Structure 1
Amino acid sequence: MSEPRVLVVFFSRTGTTRRLAGALAGMMSADIEEICDFTERRGALGYLRCVIDSWRKRPAEIVPAGLDPSQYDLVLVGTPVWAGAVSAPVRAYLLQNRSRFRHVGFFCIFGGLGAGTAFDEMRALAGKAPVAQCKVRASQVQRGVRTTALESFAGVLERHLAHYAALEWSC
């Protein structure tokens, strides 16, 4: 019986989601991959593009993934919340890979409202319910606070993986 493989995939415009994804990957001993898109998103004009893409529910044109999610038992997908929605690059990733996920988990960084709506959208885009999800305020990550939400999320994921491994071994 081999150890379950975990992949953390994320998009980060400002670096906040990147910090959280790195912490989560360390906690889960996971591989990590950043989603990169071809749209300029820096500065005020880039921020405006993010909002417009969210309102229109438009996926971004992204760089092809280097890691194949079908090779992982669990894929954890992270996004910033843009105008109450999932980011356009994560929307594209989920649409492109929805048939390759065995199990998924979602995490998001948010400043105000919309985390619940973003999770609903991620669930629909992935075509399956997550084993767990976690929302963290951007201000907590920026202050370097290791949140109890992230620790609880990792604990739920570890229990899921242990259960999954036991089922796979017994078959």
Structure 2
Amino acid sequence: MSKPRVLIVFFSRTGTTRVLATALAGVLSADVEEICDLSERRGALGYLRCVIDSWRKRRAEIVPAGLDPSQYDLVLVGTPVWAGAVSAPVRAYLLQHRSRFRHVGFFCTFGGLGAEAALEEMHSLAGKAPVAQCKVRAAEMQRGVATASFELFVGVLERHLAHYTALEWAC
């Protein structure tokens, strides 16, 4: 009986989503891959580019993934929420790899509104229902506060992985 393999893939413009991805990786002993965007997104003009890409539902040009999601039992994908939507780099990743996911989970960081819409969009882009999903306010991440939603998310994921291992062992 082997331990399920977990991959955490994320994009983070400001570092907030990276903090959440790193915390998840530590708890789940997961491999991590950061999506690298080829567009300039720093500063005021970069922020404006993010908003426009979000409104227009554009995909970003991203560096090809180094890890193959088909080699993992569970892929967790994380995004910041941009103007109520998935970030353009995560949109590109999900569309490129949607046929390679066995099981998925989604998480997002957000400052205002739109987290639910972003999670629904991730579901649509991945073409697969998530085993779990989580939304965490950026302010809570910046303060280092462990939220109830994060703990609930981890609990659901751990139960899913335990169930997955039990099913594999039974076969």
> How many residue pairs are counted as aligned between the two chains?
171
By how many angstroms is 1:126 displaced? 0.3
Matches within 5 A, 1:80-95: 80-95=80-95
Deviation sequence 1:63-120 (CA, Å, 0-9, x none): 0001110010000000000000000000000000000000000000011110110011
Distance of 1:69 and 1:116 partners within structure 2: 24
By how many angstroms is 1:149 displaced? 1.3
Answering whether residue 43 of structure 2 is matched by residue 43 of structure 1, we say yes
- The TM-score normalised by the length of structure 1 is 0.99
Partner of 1:76: 76
Partner of 1:132: 132
Amino acid aligned to 1:81: V
Partner of 1:23: 23
Amino acid aligned to 1:53: D
Amino acid aligned to 1:88: A
Amino acid aligned to 2:87: S
Partner of 2:157: 157
Amino acid aligned to 1:150: F
Give me the identity figure in percent. Answer: 83
SS at match of 1:131: strand
Distance of 1:168 and 1:127 partners within structure 2: 24
By how many angstroms is 1:144 displaced? 1.1
Partner of 1:143: 143
SS at match of 1:13: coil
By how many angstroms is 1:50 displaced? 0.2
SS at match of 2:32: strand
Partner of 2:5: 5
Please list every run of at least 4 consecutive aligned residues from structure 1 whose deviation after the TM superposition is greater than 4 angstroms.
none
- The TM-score normalised by the length of structure 2 is 0.99
Amino acid aligned to 2:111: G
Answering whether residue 91 of structure 2 is matched by residue 102 of structure 1, we say no
Gaps of 5+ in 2: none
Say what the alpha-carbon RMSD is for the aligned residues: 0.6
Distance of 1:134 and 1:170 partners within structure 2: 30
Partner of 1:67: 67
Partner of 1:113: 113
Distance of 2:32 and 2:50 partners within structure 1: 23
Distance of 1:28 and 1:147 partners within structure 2: 17
SS at match of 1:132: strand
By how many angstroms is 1:165 displaced? 1.2
Distance of 1:151 and 1:66 partners within structure 2: 29
SS at match of 2:109: strand
Amino acid aligned to 1:43: G
Amino acid aligned to 2:102: R
